[in-house]
């Protein structure tokens, strides 16, 4: 007598519902996330009693650190010579001609570097320049 053994089929796992849930979670987190621009550089901006909070739609950020390094839109410049700063501003303005140049200088940054940046901006014909500061605290002396 010959007995037939049934071949057992492998159970099939349907991943469609799992993929749907993962996509829904992904969409939820993408929609609910707030995007806040934070600089990788740590600066202590000087305080000003007349500082106003502004959000600029198009801006070129030029950072002057306390140790003399210069960054244009988070890319470090090779040196702090006027020609180098002027070339970096020119390249950034070609990409965004209507942008505002925002100078973020650390409170301990050398004054000569801030003046050099402003001089390079004037030489490149920058019409909109602003200097970043934090609002002065009422309790500070």
Kindly state whether residue 119 falls inside one of the protein's structural domains: yes
Kindly state whether residue 140 falls inside one of the protein's structural domains: no
Element (DSSP H or E) covering residue 124: none
- pLDDT for res 23: 93
Q: pLDDT tens digits for 45-101?
A: 555 555 555 565 678 888 888 888 889 888 888 888 889 888 998 898 888 878 888
Which phi and psi (to 5°) does residue 103 adopt?
-95, 115
Q: What totals of helices (H) and strands (E) does the chain contain, helices first? A: 3, 7
CA distance 46 to 136: 9
- What average pLDDT does range 104-133 have in this prediction? 84
Structural domain boundaries enclosing 60? 47-135
CA distance 97 to 9: 66
- pLDDT for res 134: 65
- What average pLDDT does range 23-30 have in this prediction? 90
- Domain of 98, CATH number, reads 3.30.420.270
pTM of the model: 0.57
């Amino acid at each position: 007598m010959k007995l037939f053994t049934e071949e057992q089929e492998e159970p099939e796992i349907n991943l469609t519902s799992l993929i749907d849930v993962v996509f829904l979670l992904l969409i939820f987190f993408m929609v609910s996330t707030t995007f806040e621009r934070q600089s990788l550089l740590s600066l202590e901006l000087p305080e000003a009693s007349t500082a106003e909070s502004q959000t600029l739609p198009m801006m070129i950020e030029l950072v002057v650190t306390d140790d003399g390094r210069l960054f244009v839109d988070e890319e470090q410049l090779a040196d702090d010579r006027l020609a180098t700063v002027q070339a970096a501003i020119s390249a950034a303005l070609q990409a965004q001609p209507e942008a505002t140049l925002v100078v973020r200088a650390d409170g301990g940054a050398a004054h000569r570097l801030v003046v050099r940046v402003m001089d390079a901006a004037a030489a490149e014909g920058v019409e909109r320049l602003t200097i970043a500061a934090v609002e002065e605290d009422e309790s500070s002396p």
